[in-house]
Amino acid sequence: MPARHNHDDERDLWDAYATNVTREIGAPVMNWTQYAGHGPGEELLGSPGTVLEIGCGTGRTLAYLAERGVKGTGVDMSPVMVDAVRERWGDRVSFHCAEVLDFLRDHGERYDAVYSIFGAVWFTDPAKLLPLVVNALKPGGSLVFSHPPAIPGAYGPQGMYKGGFAGRARFTYRYSYTPGRWESILLRSGFSKAEVRILDAPEPDHIGTLIGQAVTG
């Protein structure tokens, strides 16, 4: 049975998350992993003139890239989040409040790079998302994404209840695959090359980070 996304419920969930994380938005930063100062930096994107972040959250990465002359666009489905980041970074980055699939279908602009840091690539059906990302990229453009690796044996859409296990059922999904499976999905979606790997955590036995890179022909 396919995952049944309810975007209204998911928007409420991300609004609740945004209410917490936007109380104090930190300085611009470029970090692909969940560990501060660990892992690669902007070099994964190459040298783009334009970027789109899908699931942009606090906008700190877009602000970091804007400081380096990159024209950035961010999309997030939470109105609370987008209002906050527009107030903080709106003088240098263009932010849109939309569900990512709708945004990619409705906007005709194309980008040198699209990226997701624990963002929409993790939370959106890749069969629907990735072909739209291919269409949003210029020839030779790249997709870069990161999120935690799959728990061994738990692959595909992983449902998550929010707000505990009592009350009205509100949930979202994360999509988790092995690196090899991710590469197959990316190539089948229209990318010409794909490489997905797991970067070890800075401490032994801690959770690593899955990092995917793909380019269009």
Other CB atoms within 10 Å distance of the CB of residue 206:
10
Backbone φ and ψ of 169, nearest 5°:
-75, 110
Mean pLDDT of 37-59: 97
Query: Residues 168, 198: contact at Cβ < 8 Å?
Result: no
* Among 99-103, 115-119, 130-134, 168-172, the least confident range: 168-172
pTM, two decimal places: 0.96
Question: What's the pLDDT at 2?
Answer: 77
Mean pLDDT of 153-171: 85
Query: Residues 212, 194: contact at Cβ < 8 Å?
Result: yes
Separation CA 154–CA 186 (nearest Å): 19
The tens digit of pLDDT for each residue in 91-119 reads 999 999 999 999 999 998 999 999 999 99
> Average pLDDT of the chain?
95
Question: Where residue 168 falls among pLDDT bands split at 50, 70, 90?
Answer: confident
Question: What's the pLDDT at 1?
Answer: 65
Question: Count of alpha carbons within 13 Å of 21, Cβ hemisphere only?
Answer: 17
Between 1 and 78, the higher pLDDT residue:
78
88 token code pair: 């903080």
Mean pLDDT of 84-97: 97
Mean pLDDT of 66-91: 98
